[in-house]
Amino acid sequence: MTDLSEKIKGFVFNLDGVIVDTAKYHYIAWRRLADEMGVDFPPEQHDKLRSLSRMESLEKILEWGGLYMTEAEKLHWADVKNNWYQGLIANMKPEEVLPGVLPFLDEVRNSGGRTALSSASRNAWAVLKSTRLESYFDVVLDGSAARKAKPHPECFLLAAASLQLAPAECIVFDDAVLGVRAARIGGFHIVGIGKPEHLPDAELVIPGFTDCRLSDILESVEKMATVG
Ligand code: G1P
């Protein structure tokens, strides 16, 4: 590992849209719900649900449709959506892990890096199990771990604490504006996954993990840390 590895020892990954493309399944299930409620929900609108919890996501859809629900109704419909979603992920296969993720995780672990998964989804374990990813992470924190929603950095701070590292010793990998912002507020290094124009708060943005080398990531983050 490069010099920076003396400073960076932890790698914290978001799940949906970073490790696996479960975002498409969330969209199918939320869209079905929106259709039942007569709420217009085009695909680009789904980006606004990334990083949100199940209940926050439902509340956004209700807000867009100008709809009101009692707490009991919200719980009921959140459950309905979750059943649809679970039906979609039940048959996920290891092949659905996004390109380049496994070689990158292997490289991190072989270099002595510690890995954490931090997801707003309460289905994170189910996804890890069906894609056989459980053993790649030293720590897994799902949507039940943090009480405060992003952009509060609680979920990432808990991950760093579980790895027994300081935020400045960790890189967060996230594809969502709110996640990147939370990592920045928490004092982490941040690699955004997606397009640079969508993630201005990230130190470095990559399109995904295809051909992604650990040494390149560490070098770029080191450069940005020096500049910043
Ligand atoms: C939740 C939300 C979903 C959001 C996802 C982010 O997952 O339902 O809208 O995009 O987290 O990871 P759930 O706990 O329902 O799996």
Q: Are residues 78 and 148 in the same domain?
A: no
Same domain for 27 and 16: no
Q: Which residue from 33, 49, 119 has its CB within 8 A of the most atoms of ligand 1, so it is best to mutate?
A: 49
Quickly tell me which residue has 């995904």 as its tokens. 208
- From the CB of 7, is ligand 1 less than 6 Å away? no
Tell me which residue range forms the domain holding 64: 23-89
Ligand 1 center from residue 174 Cα (angstroms)? 14
Q: Do 118 and 137 reside in the same domain of the chain?
A: yes
Given 89, 122, 147, the domain boundary residue is 89
> Pick from 89, 121, 140: which residue ends a domain?
89
CATH number of residue 101's parent domain: 3.40.50.1000
Pocket test for ligand 1, best of 25, 31, 53 (most atoms within 8 A of CB): 53
pLDDT value of position 228: 60
**Together in a domain, 109 and 175:** yes
Say what the pLDDT of residue 2 is: 47
Domain count for the chain:
2
Are residues 216 and 132 part of one domain?
yes
How do the pLDDT tens digits run along the chain, 228 residues long?
Answer: 444 567 899 999 999 999 999 999 999 999 999 999 999 999 999 999 999 999 999 999 999 999 999 999 999 999 999 999 999 999 899 999 999 999 999 999 999 999 999 999 999 999 999 999 999 999 999 999 999 999 999 999 999 999 999 999 999 999 999 999 999 999 999 999 999 999 999 999 999 999 999 999 999 988 877 776
Q: d(Cα 158, Cα 23) in Å, to the nearest integer?
A: 23
Are 141 and 213 in a shared domain?
A: yes
Looking at the fold, whether 146 and 216 belong to one and the same domain comes out as: yes
Ligand 1 contact via 54 beta carbon (within 6 Å):
yes
CATH number of the domain where residue 56 is located: 1.10.150.240
> 201 and 110, same structural domain?
yes
Which of 45, 47, 48, 54 to mutate for ligand 1's pocket (most ligand atoms within 8 Å of CB)? Answer: 54
Cβ pair 53, 82 in contact under 8 A? no
Structure tokens at 44: 């680009």
For residue 175 and ligand 1, the question of a CB distance below 6 A is answered with no
Query: How far is Cα 190 from Cα 174, in angstroms, rounded to an integer?
Result: 8
| Look-up of token digits 């969502």 | 176
Query: What is the rounded CA–CA span in Å between residue 148 and residue 189?
Result: 20
Whether 31 is in the pocket of ligand 1, judged by its Cβ within 6 Å, is: no
- End position of a domain, from candidates 70, 89, 108: 89
Q: Considering only CA atoms, which residue is closest to atom 15 of ligand 1?
A: 54
Same domain, 186 and 215: yes
Q: What distance in angstroms lies between residue 222's CA and the mean position of ligand 1's atoms?
A: 32
Based on the domain organization, do 65 and 107 belong to the same domain? no
Contact 49, 163 (CB under 8 A): no
Domain co-membership, 75 together with 103: no
Residue 108 CA: distances (Å) to CA of 27, 76, 105, 111, 115: 31, 41, 5, 5, 8
Ligand 1 pocket test target in 31, 47, 121, 141 with most atoms within 8 Å of CB: 121
Pairing of strands 139-141, 170-174: unpaired
Q: How far, in Å, is the centroid of ligand 1 from the Cα of 163?
A: 24
Q: What pLDDT, on a 0 to 100 scale, did the predictor assign at position 44?
A: 92
Q: Are 82 and 99 in a shared domain?
A: no
pLDDT at residue 5, rounded to an integer: 61
